[in-house]
Amino acid sequence: MTTRRIIVEPRGLASLGLTLAVPAASVLLALIVGAIFLALTGNSPGEVYVKMVDTAFGSQRGLSETLISATPLILTGVAAAVAFKMLVWNIGAEGQFIMGAVFAAGVGIALGSGTPALIAIPVVILAGAVGGAFWASVSAVPKVYLGVNEIITTLMLNFIALNFMYYLIFGSSSPWRDPEVSQFPSGRPIPDSGRIPEILDSQRLDYGFFIAVAFAILAWFLISKTKWGFEVRVVGDSSDTARYAGIAVPRKFLGVFLMSGAFAGLAGSLYVAGPVGALDPRSLDLGLGFTGIIVAALARLNPVAVVPVGILMGALNNAGPSLQSIRVPAATVEMLQGAILIFAVAGEFFIANRLRRPEKKPQPVAAAEGGEA
Amino acid sequence: MNESTLILTLFAAIGLGTPLVFGTVGEIITERAGNLNLGVQGMMLVGAVAGFWATFNTENLLLGVIVAMLAGAALSVVHAFASVTLRVSQIVSGLALTIFGTGLSSFLGETGSEPLVGEPSKATFEPILEGGLADIPILGPLVFGHDIMVYVSWITVAAASFYVFRTRMGLSLRAVGEDPASAESAGVNVARVRYIHIMIGGAFAGLGGAYYSLALVPTWQNEPIGQAGWICIALVILASWRPSRALFAAYLFGAAERIQFTLQTLGEPWSNVPSNLLAMLPFILAIVAMLALTSGKRARFLGAPAALGLPYFREQR
């Protein structure tokens, strides 16, 4: 064993304080890194951050828009959290989100205005889940039955879904496209009976936010409180242990993969049935799937913690475009979010391990073993 | 399709494939060390803006290329630190690099009182031969008609191939990627080998990005590379971790990218194929290739480094 200045040893279960402190520190460090880049390029970090807080939380309208932005992020965050917990590397929430939106808008348009809202709204929302799960299955089935790496297939399917949506709206006269508008192609509006109602008359925020929170709690319940969820966690910790315990690993894997896709698809349906009201590429092409991965990582893969983290990321997304009014690029937000993810993932090291200095007079054998207390 | 259309398509495929060659060879070298870096897209974008910025201020292409490579390598150190030193998930760390790099690239292009966005490059890569050998029918343009970076990419492929399979360092590299514990027993510093090759991968990704901003799309715009970085990650598998195959895989995808324009020039009925569907082609090709090459038992013969994606714990040996 070579001499080392710092000894790293695994920590058993991290304290609650630590599991809260590390994500908080990740955000803080990301803000510092962002401030450095802002200052180096001649911007005022203070002004930028004040503007962001003000836009996201400073008014009723700002708060409403923040929660609207948070709604899909909560669900793509849940999608990533349940998948990553079981080491299902579903990087395709983006595409599953889009296909969820395509399915939901399609069903909403097909149902027409004659269907009662009590039936139409749940059907439209669930159509999104089906769309997302279907798109996930394109990667999940080859993964589970043929061993084809899901990272690359889910990634590629993101761009196929994106171009498919473009095709539906820009490249064809599909039922998704608004036939009334010929100048600038846009999505055909979903009839009001299929739209999720708004909470207040004055703001755009609709009940979709609460539906997203309910689904996050449902995901937490499934993972933490059911036998199925217990088996899933066993598989995530060690697939060997799971096999010895008689758990059908491939089926669990498939189930989690499809569930992850369904949550991402729900994000899509809440988006089109909520604030947007149509399959509109201009408001859907937002990188919400990737941001969901940040949400999940910062929430440490806990579906309930995803809710506050989703609101935080929604606030950032909401604040981004407003920075242009003080001549700061909206991309500042993406840079900050990337930095948050870097620190959040690095922070996992400090949650999993304890660092200490070697004792002054090390006993050769005991020092190498460590971690007995 | 007449002869000149075919030549034009192949010629364009080589041009469009060149940044993919750099990115893919770089990622092959990184993955050969057992490290999966999903940050290629981010490193390419940072390379693209850094190279453009350097050339914009100096009118010097060589300096642009060097700065792009340094920027890509610098960003990759973040991933190296997280995945090698801290041993956290390589997948999430790489994704973080991509998100951060994408944001940083757009931010740097738009910030300041005189932002780069919309500015044409002060210098661009041009074909090095006009007339002469480049006028030979068919082979002339395809072999002699390119700018210098295409030839640099060919040299890179040959050099990377030689390095990985024929040198002592290459042997250490492959040993670390296959069986880090044994490599360490044989006196190889696993962490150092991984750091170095993650940085080499970052440098080549940066170079690939700069080829977009200094040759293919020489006016600064946000995300000028399309999805090239993601494509490179798929190409590594298609090339089965061999630099020489990366060249052909990259040109195949270059051709898939070009096919939209080719069909337009062919007129009816070819020009009626919707461009949005054609834009899917490279991604569909990648999935089909994955299914064909890595389904079931076939994956074993592909030659993926055995320790790819796994963190190495020296203490647990």
**DSSP letter assigned to residue B188:** -
CA distance A221 to A231: 14
Once rounded to an integer, what is the mean pLDDT over residues B106-129?
88
pLDDT above 70 (res B14): yes
CA distance A138 to A118: 32
Give domain status of residue B208, yes or no.
Answer: yes
Per-residue pLDDT tens digits for B223-278: 999 999 999 999 999 999 999 999 999 999 999 988 888 887 887 788 888 888 98
CA distance B4 to A350: 61
pLDDT above 90 (res A23): yes
> In chain B, whose CA is at the least distance from the CA of A339?
B100
Minimum distance, in Å, between the CA of residue A7 and any CA atom of chain B = 11
Per-residue pLDDT tens digits for A146-184: 989 899 999 999 999 999 999 999 888 889 998 887 678
Q: Into how many domains does chain B fold?
A: 1
- In this prediction, the answer to ipTM > 0.85 reads yes
A166 in B contact zone (CB under 8 Å):
yes
CA distance B282 to B42: 19
Residues 79-98 of A with CB under 8 A from B: 84, 89, 91
Q: Which residues of A fall within a CB distance of 8 Å from B87?
A: 349
**8 Å CB contact between B60 and B81:** no
What is the pairing mode between strands A353-356 and A7-10?
Answer: antiparallel
**8 Å CB contact between A269 and A127:** yes
- CA B267 to chain CA centroid, Å, is 33
Contacts with B179 (C-beta within 8 Å, 6 or more apart), sequence order: B306, B307
What CATH number does residue B61 fall under?
1.10.3470
Residues 9-38 of A with CB under 8 A from B: 37
Give B219's strand partners: B120
pLDDT at B245: 94
Q: Which residues of B fall within a CB distance of 8 Å from A164?
A: 276, 280
- Among the partner residues B93, B109, B276, nearest to A167 by beta-carbon distance: B276
How do the domains of chain A map onto residue ranges? 1-43+328-373, 70-318
Q: Is A347 exposed, middle or buried (0-12, 13-18, 19+ CB in 10 A)?
A: buried
Please tell me which of A4-8, A38-42, B163-167 the model is most confident about, judged by mean pLDDT. Answer: B163-167
> In chain B, whose CA is at the least distance from the CA of A287?
B99
Give domain status of residue B135, yes or no.
Answer: yes
pLDDT above 80 (res A360): no
Q: Which residues of A fall within a CB distance of 8 Å from B108?
A: 41
A115 in B contact zone (CB under 8 Å):
no
A159 in B contact zone (CB under 8 Å):
yes
CA distance B291 to B113: 49
pLDDT above 60 (res A1): no
Number of Cβ atoms within 10 Å of the Cβ of A174? 14
pLDDT above 80 (res A264): yes
CA distance A130 to A122: 12
pLDDT above 80 (res A373): no
CA distance A49 to A94: 28
* Yes or no, beta carbons of B112 and A345 under 8 Å apart: no
Residues 261-320 of A with CB under 8 A from B: 290-291, 293-294, 297
A164 in B contact zone (CB under 8 Å):
yes
Geometric angle at alpha carbon B101, from B95 and B107, rounded to 5°: 140
Q: Which residues of B fall within a CB distance of 8 Å from A151?
A: 38, 91
Number of Cβ atoms within 10 Å of the Cβ of B163? 16
Residues 127-146 of A with CB under 8 A from B: 142, 146
Give domain status of residue B317, yes or no.
Answer: no
3-state secondary structure of B56: helix
How would residue A368 be classed by pLDDT, with cut points 50, 70 and 90?
Answer: very low
Determine the structural domain holding residue B27 and report its residue range.
Answer: 3-312
pLDDT at A47: 94
pLDDT at B315: 58
Residues 205-244 of A with CB under 8 A from B: none
> In chain B, whose CA is at the least distance from the CA of A144?
B296
